Amino acid sequence: MRERRAAPTLETMKRALERAARAPVIVHPPCTGGRRVTLYGQDLGRALRRGDVAAYLRRAGFVTAEFAWDDTGLIEWREGGPDVWSTP
């Protein structure tokens, strides 16, 4: 006989909706040592250029040729877009 799973709590459902509403990839603001790159909150590393972001995403299973750098549904660029790599 299968175990019945408990119904999800309101808090669990809120967190799932928040994750779904955000872009899965976040390129954080520039700082010393590059821009931190996360995928669903998991740290992938620090990028010094756009190619580094592409390499991290390929390792995570993305096919980087299939998306645009300005696809806001996939990538959220914080404090500067794909052409900003140094601190002001």
DSSP assigned state of 74: T
Residue 30 placed within a domain: yes
Residue 2 placed within a domain: no
Residue 46 placed within a domain: yes
- Number of folded domains in the chain? 1
Tell me if 35 sits within 8 A of 46, measured CB to CB.
yes
Residue 37 placed within a domain: yes
Q: Provide the residue-wise pLDDT of the chain in tens; the chain has 88 residues.
A: 566 666 667 676 666 656 556 788 999 999 988 999 999 899 999 999 999 999 999 898 887 667 788 888 889 999 999 999 988 7
The whole domain housing 64 covers 23-77
Residue 12 placed within a domain: no
Among left, alpha and beta (phi > 0; psi -120 to 50; other), residue 19 is: alpha
